[in-house]
Structure 1
């Protein structure tokens, strides 16, 4: 959760485009972010055929003509189909990617496939490697998304989860010292201080507040428990039993943070739909 999900950028700036808050070029630029190329593959042409892969501006325009009323985010994890509505095939793709975007009003969803292109071999400079993202369009079921709270619920749950978990985390020293933890905290704070923009124009202030808090909580969880190993770098819990307790304490906090992110990203789509006659 240290990085903004691509699905969040697509939904936020796509919704701003649908609402006339930004131009197609600005929306596309914001969605691409630090990547090099984004394309959309598999959009229907209205006659049962698939259109060839298209750039974001063309694809978003096409999506609007197909009747899209708003874009929603899904951030599923094993055992938690957060934001998904089916069918199983789409859920499986989204779970593998860890994220997806659902276009309300079209029964279409989008899952990102990321590829790195560039010269192979050792000693390749990072600037020579390009990230290409293809949003795979698949049919979805038009139904209420799974386990998505309202903004008010998400804000309250975040506060409660942080309060309930603090005692356990302090006892396990999960925010302990160490070069890895220090570097991660410094990087997170630097990014916050750089003034990156959360969400897109038109989102309610509460959504921005909830997303900022959810991302901060997610960052602290990632620092407290290293997903790539056993978490020993970031605290005093070193025994198997202590690591298990740490995981158990962090899991609900991480789940709550993901739910809050989805609620924040989806707030604009809900407002757009409520404004329709």
Structure 2
């Protein structure tokens, strides 16, 4: 969770484009980011892969008015609504974009090309039919914010008690450094998102970073099987909470439109 999911960039900037808040060139540049190129394959009416600009225009013509994010994990189909074939692909990728207004979904397939030391990333989004149903386990922004605050407090307490690297001053310094890099780079969310969504996404990334630091830095003082199990038990729901909050933030524009 240290990196922004590609589905998040596609949904956020795609929503801004569909709302007329950014130009197609700006939206595509933000979605592609550091990748070499993104294409979309399987769009109705197209015989092969097309560029993002054409793809987003075609989706609009097909009735798409918004884009949602799904960030599923094994045993947790977060943001998905089916059918099973789409869910399996999304679970393999760990992410997907669900269209609002037309029953399509997009799953990224990531390819690396080029010689060692000069690799570039190409992404193909597979357009597939989805079921028009409420997405699984997505909280409201308010629920996500409350859950994140509680998860961050509980996880820090548990990890500190177990003497796990990733809690305490070292983790705080790493989080602050990560936040500084993020603030100097691309926007947290695209134009059109409410401030609360930005706040929830930033907190979700902070919680996700804490989990990643705890995992990357080894077991610390938690050397017994019982302590290791306790750490795993503490981190699992925290990671799930952070993913749920990410989805809530990215989907905020569509959810607000639905309420209206």
TM-score by length of 1: 0.87
SS state of the match for residue 128, structure 2?
strand
CA contact (8 A) 2:166 2:210 kept: no
Do structure 1's residue 257 and structure 2's residue 253 form an aligned pair?
Answer: no
Residue aligning to 2:186: 196
Residue aligning to 1:77: 73
Residues of 2 paired with 1:93 and 1:133: CA distance? Answer: 15
Residues of 1 paired with 2:133 and 2:176: CA distance? Answer: 42
Residues of 1 paired with 2:101 and 2:222: CA distance? Answer: 48
Residue aligning to 2:124: 134
Residues of 2 paired with 1:265 and 1:100: CA distance? Answer: 12
Residue aligning to 1:19: 19
The count of residues paired between Structure 1 and Structure 2 equals: 258
CA contact (8 A) 1:19 1:272 kept: no
Deviates more, 1:266-275 or 1:11-20: 266-275
CA deviation profile, 1:12-57 (whole Å, cap 9, x unmatched):
0000000000000000000001111000000012xxxx43211000
CA contact (8 A) 1:114 1:134 kept: yes
Residue aligning to 2:205: 215
Aligned-pair Cα RMSD in Å: 2.0
Residue aligning to 2:97: 101
Residue aligning to 1:8: 8
Deviates more, 1:136-145 or 1:235-244: 235-244
Residues of 1 paired with 2:221 and 2:195: CA distance? Answer: 38
Do structure 1's residue 113 and structure 2's residue 109 form an aligned pair?
Answer: yes
Residue aligning to 1:237: 222
Residues of 2 paired with 1:161 and 1:9: CA distance? Answer: 25
SS state of the match for residue 189, structure 2?
coil
TM-score by length of 2: 0.93
SS state of the match for residue 148, structure 1?
coil
- The gaps in structure 1 that reach 5 residues or longer are none
CA contact (8 A) 1:38 1:134 kept: yes
Residue aligning to 2:150: 160
Residues of 1 paired with 2:68 and 2:74: CA distance? Answer: 20
CA contact (8 A) 2:69 2:247 kept: yes
Residues of 1 paired with 2:124 and 2:107: CA distance? Answer: 8
Find runs of 4+ consecutive structure 1 residues off by over 6 angstroms.
180-183
Once the 2 structures are TM-superposed, how far is the Cα of residue 240 of structure 1 from its aligned partner? 2.6
Residue aligning to 2:82: 86
Do structure 1's residue 65 and structure 2's residue 55 form an aligned pair?
Answer: no
SS state of the match for residue 225, structure 1?
helix
Q: Check 1:151–1:8 CA distance in 2 against 1; reply closer, same or farther (3 A cut).
A: same
Residue aligning to 2:48: 52
CA contact (8 A) 2:97 2:105 kept: yes
CA deviation profile, 1:203-229 (whole Å, cap 9, x unmatched):
000000000000111011111123xxx
CA contact (8 A) 1:172 1:246 kept: yes
